[in-house]
Amino acid sequence: MDKFAIEGGRPLEGVIQVSGAKNAALPVLAATLLTDQEVRLDRIPKVRDIRTMARLLKSLGADVASNSGGYAVRVTEVTSPEAPYELVKTMRASSLVLGPLVARCGEARVSLPGGCAIGARPINLHLAGLEKLGAEISQEHGYIRAHAPNGLAGAVIHFDRVTVTGTEDLMMAAALARGETIIENAAREPEVADLAALLGKMGAAIDGAGTSTIRIQGRSRLHGATHAIIPDRIEAGTFLIAGALTGNPLTIAGVDTRHLAALIDRMRQAGVDFSFPAEDRIEVRAGGRLRAVDLATREYPGFPTDMQAQFLAMMTQAEGESHITETIFENRFMHVSELLRMGADVVLEGNQATVRGKSRLSGAKVMASDLRASACLVIAALTARGETIIDRVYHIDRGYERIEEKLSNVGARIRRTK
Ligand code: EPU
């Protein structure tokens, strides 16, 4: 298993280029199942979850060609509408193929994802939505079967709770359903809007993506299209926090600043200064005193749960006491026990972490538990005295493209060891 060895305390200086968004690329790849024509996708990030999705698409019958900048996918025929446990267990986002498969084939079998390090993460809302569109749902041998031999029909779907991939799954299914579907209490994440942009290019009529009410006029066929994925706001945010702690200065390039508003706002409250040398660039530097600020994670446009762990790492370097509340997932504080080993002062109570700073972190052996927890540990290691060894970095490889190379290029001492 790969590890990272990070020598902390080095200033980071220069420009880091952000990749395409993993969480936009995954649904967009699933959307290629909706047509028998070729879909060309640019700025697909080279990360492990994307390779898993490509394997899943191939197992369903897709022809997937990758080139330097992206993928060309053609699903002339779905040969087997089944997402096997072996793939779903390694990536929960595999359930994104459920909606497209049942819409296109009238039939889908998708393994139920098992437990997850950050919470139970059920898919009941995806299933209830598909039932509303007329699919019969049953479960056997650990698999969900969705059956709609006469096709899906538009309906009003009201989500009791906001779900990002649930909104995406249903939007894709509705694009091939008869008549109009209205999704209420939809997720407003930029990744949802990006998927809608692709579906629009494929011939679907979708209104309101990016707001909490989405209207979809179903089509009997969709066609091929070309699309470039939006920049990864979570990768950008991770580097912004690294820059706020070590930047001399550090420029994050290729970003969409509109998607980072909640993070930038909280970082400013904490005393971080930004400058914007170009529309798609943000420059940040370390040096000023950081103040403790409180936050609670929320659905977009609120503060993203995917940035909670990294922000918590920053708060260990701020003066005072901050309260960080996680409202999206039940168990997303696995990074805390590892930060304690590095000398942080954090007390966990229920879904709230109280962080007292400023702590002098020191390098230690730590274990990555999930994608964003790993990013938190990388940030902590960059600021710590001495060497940190992060074990199980396959978690970080799921969602960050060549992170050690990007950080080395701006002056970090980070090595991958086998
Ligand atoms: N939920 C249900 N039932 C459902 C669906 C969700 O109870 O049917 C609950 C979840 O258990 C959770 C909450 O609703 O407590 C929100 O979950 P959501 O469905 O929005 O999460 P997701 O779609 O599974 C996506 C991202 C996550 C990100 C969350 C929240 C992708 C592929 N994944 O997950 O990204 O944390 O939205 O913003 O888009 C990551 O990249 O590290 C990551 C975990």
Catalytic option among 14, 79, 116, 158: 116
105 carries an active-site annotation: no
Amino acid at the residue 36: D
Show Cβ contacts of residue 2 under 8 Å, excluding neighbours closer than 6 positions. 393, 394, 397, 416, 417, 418
State phi, psi for 72 to the nearest 5 degrees.
Answer: -120, 125
**pLDDT score at 384:** 98
**pLDDT score at 418:** 87
**pLDDT score at 215:** 98
| CB distance 55 to ligand 1 below 6 Å | no
**pLDDT score at 382:** 98
Low-confidence ranges of the chain (pLDDT < 50): none
Task: State CA 18 to chain mean position distance.
Answer: 14
| CB distance 125 to ligand 1 below 6 Å | yes
Ligand 1 centroid – CA 389 distance (Å): 29
State phi, psi for 208 to the nearest 5 degrees.
Answer: 90, 5
Model pLDDT for residues 334-355, shown as the tens digit of each residue: 999 999 999 999 999 999 999 9
Helix (H, G, I), strand (E, B) or coil at 16: strand
Sign of CA dihedral 404, 407, 408, 412: negative
Burial class (CB in 10 A: 0-12, 13-18, 19+), 278: exposed
Strand partners, 19: none
Q: Whose CA is nearest to atom 9 of ligand 1?
A: 121
**pLDDT score at 80:** 93
Whole-number Cα distances in Å, 254 to 13, 230, 278, 332, 363: 17, 10, 10, 28, 31
Test site for ligand 1: of 306, 335, 374, 400, most ligand atoms within 8 A of the Cβ:
306
Q: Structure tokens of 90?
A: 């390694």
Ligand 1 centroid – CA 114 distance (Å): 14
**pLDDT score at 115:** 66
Percentage above 70 pLDDT, the chain: 100
Other CB atoms within 10 Å distance of the CB of residue 261: 13
| CB distance 71 to ligand 1 below 6 Å | no
Per-residue DSSP letters for 205-237? EEE-BTBSEEEEE--S----EEEEPPB-HHHHH
Question: Which DSSP state fits 184?
Answer: E
Q: Structure tokens of 92?
A: 């929960």
Whole-number Cα distances in Å, 117 to 51, 90, 147, 230, 341: 21, 12, 31, 27, 20
